[in-house]
Structure 1
Amino acid sequence: MHGIKRTRLTPQAAEAKRLKELSKIEGYLALEDEVLTRKRTKHLSEESLGKTTALLDLNPEFYTIWNFRRDILVSLFPSLSPEEVVSHLTSDLRLTTSYLLVHPKVYWIWNHRKWCLESVPVGPGDTVKWKEEFWQGELKLVEKMLDADARNFHAWDYRRYVLASLPVQRPLSDEMRYTQGKIESNFSNFSAWHCRTKTLLAIWENEGTSEAQVRKTKDQEFELVTQALWTDPGDQSGWLYYRWLIGAEPPLDVLEREIQNIRDLYEAEPDSKWCINALAHYILLLARIDSSGADKSSVMKDEARRLYRRLEDVDPDRRERYKEMGEW
């Protein structure tokens, strides 16, 4: 790095460093061999559990060892009280938390957390309250993870899993507010936009929302996503949500309105490939569904061709694709 004085190792220091690293590698390989041997021989004990911890500390992406760890725990649980089982599961949740802080995008760590939560035994007294404490803890954890990296799609997937698993379901309106906060803090958060589509669909399905109310909600969503498109027309996230909102068979007046909005943006951002692409796409869609006549349809198709030719200049890496899109 600039401004940092480099120190050159002496031959003796370099050799000492090499030997130290070699020792670490040899130690890791020996531990790996021991744990895999215990797995092959079905050595399912507390001692083996400790060995898996030591190996996972060094390599938390070793999914085979996570599988072995679960086999060990399953074999131990029948002889333990519910409280002791919970103690083991709580320890594993703490363990995976420490790993996620360093490796937030490793599937196997998230999967093990799911297994732990799904293995919580029936508690004494109020079972719902007993499990609710675990799930609420998970919700707090994943929100901290998303505060640290709001675009971690693993954490978003896990959040949906947790919300669906809560013994007492939260209002979907809470999730709408949560995603909006994340989107407004960073319009390029694709995962938040995606989660918003899932939440809206769930609301409409659960509440049997009328077509008129769906349209009203979509109009509000158009206002939100339009802010994103004007803020950063070069970001794909908002455009994908925009396409979801319009859908494959939009009302004619909605399509005409949105085409005009895109035209306004195109005038301000003539080199935005996403803007040009969207304008061409929706003009062609309008040409297909507008019954005003063949002449008008022909004019719209000609405009779409010109836009695709414009894209060949704006985005030359995809020139052949745009040539194909402009041929029909």
Structure 2
Amino acid sequence: MMHGQSKLKAEILSEEEIKLRAEKGQQILDSLDYFFKVRKNQVNQPEDQLAFSELMAKLCPEIATIYNYRREVLQTKFDHLGGLLSESKNIDIYKQLVKLIQSEFMLITILLKQHPKSYTLWTHRQWMVLRSQEIDQLISQINQENQFKLIEAIKQEYELCSKMLDRDERNFHVWNYRNWLSSISAFGKEDEFTKKKIEQNFSNFSAYHFRSKYFMKNYNQSENIIERIKTEQILGLLPLPFERLKQETELIQQAIYIQPKEHGVYLYHRWLVGVVQPFGVTKIEKVQNNSIQLQFNRPVTNVENSFEIFNQENVLKIINIKVEGIRVIISFEEQQITNLKIKIHNQIYENQSKETIISEDESSKFMVPSEINLTKNNDGFTYTNTIQQEFQNAINEIHKYLEENIDFIKQVIEEERENRFPYIQVLYLLQFKLRTQKLIDESKTNAIIKEALQHCEQLKKIQNDHQAQFLYEFWSQF
């Protein structure tokens, strides 16, 4: 079984059957050779070209050149009929245009039923959707007397995806196609659709993956982020609205409870909980007259534009910023340091800039704005890290959310003592908790590490493999 579909047994062919297949293969090669000659010489009329390319598409549905050729012919006919329709507004020309579009969609549908995982067919269908949208725009411009109906191809495409995912719920070609549709339209109701697919089968990881893509795309639009900052204060900076996050967590916890041995539900839960991890400065490790080294609570990336440095209120020119995991080394123009101020900005929060959008890769990077005051003298240096109380409240809320999820997984462990998945899960969640705890009270991190090592020992008893060893070595380094 794969994706709920039975695998076909290997065929045992007779010599006669082998001979017939070889002859058919040669016929296909001969047909392709003839097709490439026709393609090169353009000897047929458009109607003949469409009929010939349709025959070739049915014979060789994976050959991209056939569809390239077909698209050239179709585009010529679309342009010709579209031009005539604009000039004459003739109902017969409109019917010809609609018939051409519908017949092409029907052909692709027939071929997709036979070859549901064909890259070339799905690419060709995307092209047809885009051409249909262009024709809809043309019809809208000339349809002053309401004599023409729009094609509205996208609506029927969502229905096609639903039917095909009923047949094979993990066909990633269909999921990718639906994801593409949702990027150019708003008909799909992806929140409802993915939730329905998950509730139908809590093991449908394709639905979880597509749902995470939908959330990142939908909630990380710059307008949404700015509005959330205004309405939810600092928690509006999170990649998902916090209440929405909690609702989604309840859904996936239900899935874990029902399918505690399904790896996919734990992966989605881990992504969901990890998406709100904050990061900020926990320590200043080294200060020189031309550099400073900061330590964060987690590895950081793309923070080069987040720093400002002042010495006695004078702005220092930053020469270089080097990121090494959790450490950031900032080099600046050399001078004698007395009182240093380091500002770390979250540009979305401070500037409310609609041009600043959290990318999908950076969606889990909740940057805590900070202002660090540092004094350097002959005995060394001292510093204070000022974090506004509203940020501290948000960090505490996230910390509480992490603890609630850890407690839930511990309950799963109580009922699934020989199941490795909840042990692995709690070790990752404790890692998230450790990072957040460093921003609240680093003195309490030892208790988290001790607990994690105990879970590592239990995991090794259940499954003493490379993953268990990796997690043990990770936690032992602390």
Shorter-chain TM-score: what band? Answer: 0.7 to 0.9
Q: How does 1:155-304 map to 2 (within 5 A)?
A: 155-166=174-185, 169-170=186-187, 174-201=189-216, 202-203=218-219, 205=221, 207=224, 208-209=227-228, 210-211=231-232, 214-246=241-273, 247=275, 248-249=277-278, 251-290=398-437, 291-294=440-443, 296-304=444-452
Task: Determine the structure 1 residue equivalent to 2:39.
Answer: 39
Once residues 78 and 214 of structure 2 are traced to their aligned partners in structure 1, the CA distance between those partners, rounded to angstroms, is 37
Find the aligned partners of 1:300 and 1:114 in 2 and give their Cα distance: 50
Distance 1:17 1:255 in 2: 62
The whole-number CA distance in structure 1 between the counterparts of 2:209 and 2:469 is 29
Q: 1:308/1:60 Cα in 2 relative to 1: closer, same or farther (>3 Å)?
A: farther
Provide the C-alpha distance between the structure 2 equivalents of 1:271 and 1:263, rounded to a whole number of angstroms: 13
Deviates more, 1:304-313 or 1:65-74: 304-313
Q: Matched residues in 2 for 1:148 and 1:54: separation? A: 27
What SS does the aligned partner of 2:244 have? helix
Structure 1 residues 203, 326: CA separation in 2 closer, same or farther (over 3 Å shift)? closer
Q: Secondary structure at the match of 2:150?
A: helix
- Cα distance, 1:129–1:49 mapped onto 2, change above 3 Å: closer
1:59 corresponds to which residue? 60
Given residue 35 of structure 1, which amino acid in structure 2 is its aligned partner?
F
In the alignment, which residue of structure 1 is the partner of 2:79? 78
User: 2:88 is matched with which residue?
Assistant: none
- Deviation, 1:324, is 4.3
**Closer, same or farther: CA 50–310 of 1 in aligned 2, 3 Å:** farther
- Shift of the 219–55 alpha-carbon distance from structure 1 to 2, 3 Å rule, reads same
SS in 2 for 1:37: helix
Greater strand proportion: 2
Matched residue SS, 1:22:
helix
The TM-score, its normalising length taken from structure 2, stands at 0.58
Which residues in structure 2 correspond to 1:109-188 (within 5 Å)?
A: 109-120=121-132, 121=135, 122-123=138-139, 124-125=142-143, 130-132=150-152, 134-166=153-185, 169-170=186-187, 174-188=189-203
Aligned length: 311
- SS of 1:130's partner is coil
Q: How far is the alpha carbon of 1:115 from its aligned partner?
A: 0.6
Amino acid at match of 2:451: E
Q: 1:307 — aligned with what?
A: 455
Structure 1 contact 35–48 (Cα < 8 Å) conserved: no
Letter in 2 for 1:91: S
How many angstroms apart in 1 are the aligned matches of 2:21 and 2:207?
A: 42
* Alpha-carbon distance in structure 1 between the residues aligned to 2:64 and 2:445: 56
TM-score by length of 1: 0.83
Alpha-carbon distance between aligned partners in 2 of 1:69 and 1:270, rounded to the nearest angstrom: 59
Return the offset for 1:128.
Answer: 10
Could you tell me which runs of 5 or more consecutive residues in structure 2 were left unpaired when the two chains were aligned: 1-11, 86-93, 279-394
Which of 307-316 and 255-264 deviates more?
A: 307-316
Q: Is the 8 A contact 1:273 1:311 kept in 2?
A: yes
Residue number in structure 2 paired with 1:105:
117
The answer to whether structure 1 residue 325 and structure 2 residue 474 are counterparts is: yes
Cα gap change, 1:129 to 1:76, in 2 (>3 Å): closer
Q: 2:100 aligns with which of 88, 91, 97?
A: 88
Higher helix content, 1 or 2: 1
Q: Write the distance in 2 (CA, Å) between the matches of 1:37 and 1:320.
A: 60
- Work out the CA distance in 2 between the residues paired with 1:127 and 1:119: 21
1:219-261 deviation line (CA, Å, top 9, x unaligned): 1111110011112223232222212322223611111111111
Shift of 1:57: 1.1
The AA in structure 1 aligned to 2:51 is: G
Q: Whose radius of gyration is greater, 1 or 2? A: 2
Percent pairwise identity? 28
Aligned counterparts of 2:47 and 2:457: Cα–Cα separation in 1: 67
Letter in 1 for 2:465: P
After TM superposition, the structure 1 stretch with the greater mean CA deviation from structure 2, 246-255 or 44-53, is: 44-53
Amino acid at match of 2:150: W
Judged with a 3 Å threshold, the aligned counterparts in structure 2 of structure 1 residues 18 and 197 are, in CA distance, closer, same or farther, namely: closer
AA aligned to 1:156 is W
Q: Which residue of 1 aligns with 2:328?
A: none
Separation (CA, whole Å) in 1 of partners of 2:52 and 2:22: 21
SS of aligned partner of 1:119: helix
What are the Cα deviations for residues 28-78 of structure 1, in whole angstroms up to 9, with x where unaligned? 111111112222334464323322222221221112222222122223433
Alignment check: 8 A CA contact 1:135 1:165 kept: no
SS at match of 2:32: helix
Check the 8 A contact 1:265/1:275 in 2, yes or no. Answer: yes
| Counterpart residue type for residue 34 of structure 1 | Y
